[in-house]
């Protein structure tokens, strides 16, 4: 609950920063209190959605597919509530695929896509991998440990992580930077530089790919998913940039 509180706190201040920037530099005619009420409502709804996520997962047996579904649904609900809140406050017709955008909406859309490609996709891919490769990060090994009596007892077929949480976290950061570089290269139309990203990442993991088949499969599927999501979001980014 404390972690959820900090999460909601961070989102509220990001919302607050966004409306302050909008009010001070783009449109001071709109009521600041209306904007403040909007982000308070968004924060409360955000809290309710996140609070309901864990009970819903338990209700549907807490499977890998349920985790993936609730994660995607959670993000869609957050985006939808923001969309509705903006429509109610600004009382303007908003289209999903606009023909043109003013400076501030364009900036917000591009910033959102940059956050999605760097941050959100990094959390989505492990959920997808859990569905595509159940138990991909677990390997059955026989390990030994010594009791106080001095006897050595073998524990057979104990599942231990192939990739530690620390390595997964580092991989998430590397993947985010990789997709950010991919976005930059696609925007600048430097397509010939894209293979360099894959080559550098593969070189860094060469020994693990050579010695561990399970890790190699996990790595390749995760890398392909990262590139696919990165390319698709980059195309949307370029489209909005040209509006």
Q: What is the pLDDT of residues 26-73, one digit of tens each?
A: 777 778 888 889 889 989 998 998 888 888 877 777 677 787 888 888
The last residue of a domain, from among 37, 70, 94: 94
Question: CA angle 82-84-85, nearest 5°?
Answer: 65
In a domain, 124, yes or no: no
In a domain, 112, yes or no: no
Domain residues for the domain of 142 are 138-241
Q: DSSP 3-state assignment of 220?
A: helix
> With contact defined as beta carbons under 8 Å apart, do 225 and 129 qualify?
yes
Domain count, the chain: 2
In a domain, 119, yes or no: no
Q: If phi over 0 gives left and psi between -120 and 50 gives alpha, with beta otherwise, what is residue 100?
A: beta
Is the pLDDT reported for residue 144 higher than 60? no
| CA–CA gap between residue 21 and residue 39 (Å, rounded) | 14
| CA–CA gap between residue 42 and residue 129 (Å, rounded) | 31
In a domain, 133, yes or no: no
Which token pair is 1?
Answer: 């609950």
Quick one: 230 and 154 in the same domain? Answer: yes
The answer to whether the pTM exceeds 0.75 is no
| Phi–psi pair at 190, nearest 5 degrees | -100, 70
The confidence band for 217, taking pLDDT boundaries of 50, 70 and 90, is: confident
Return the number of other C-beta atoms located less than 10 Å from residue 175's C-beta: 22
């Amino acid at each position: 609950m404390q972690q959820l509180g900090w999460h909601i706190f961070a989102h509220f201040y990001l919302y607050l920063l966004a409306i302050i920037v909008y009010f001070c530099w783009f449109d001071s005619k709109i009521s600041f209190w209306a904007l403040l009420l909007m982000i308070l409502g968004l924060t409360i709804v955000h809290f309710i959605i996140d609070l309901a996520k864990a009970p819903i997962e338990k209700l549907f047996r807490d499977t890998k597919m349920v985790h993936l579904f609730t994660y995607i649904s959670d993000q869609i609900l957050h985006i939808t509530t923001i969309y509705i809140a903006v429509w109610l406050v600004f009382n303007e017709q908003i289209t999903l695929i606009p023909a043109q955008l003013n400076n501030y909406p364009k900036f917000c859309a591009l910033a959102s896509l940059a956050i999605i490609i760097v941050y959100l996709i990094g959390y989505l891919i492990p959920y997808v991998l859990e569905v595509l490769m159940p138990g991909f990060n677990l390997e059955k090994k026989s390990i030994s440990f010594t009791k106080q009596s001095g006897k050595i007892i073998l524990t057979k077929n104990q599942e231990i992580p192939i990739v530690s949480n620390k390595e997964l976290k580092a991989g998430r950061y590397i993947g985010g930077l990789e997709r950010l570089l991919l976005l930059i290269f696609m925007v600048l139309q430097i397509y010939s530089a894209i293979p360099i990203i894959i080559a550098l990442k593969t070189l860094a993991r060469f020994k693990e790919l050579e010695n561990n088949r399970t890790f190699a499969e996990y790595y390749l599927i995760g890398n392909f998913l990262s590139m696919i999501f990165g390319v698709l979001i980059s195309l949307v980014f370029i489209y909005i940039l040209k509006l």
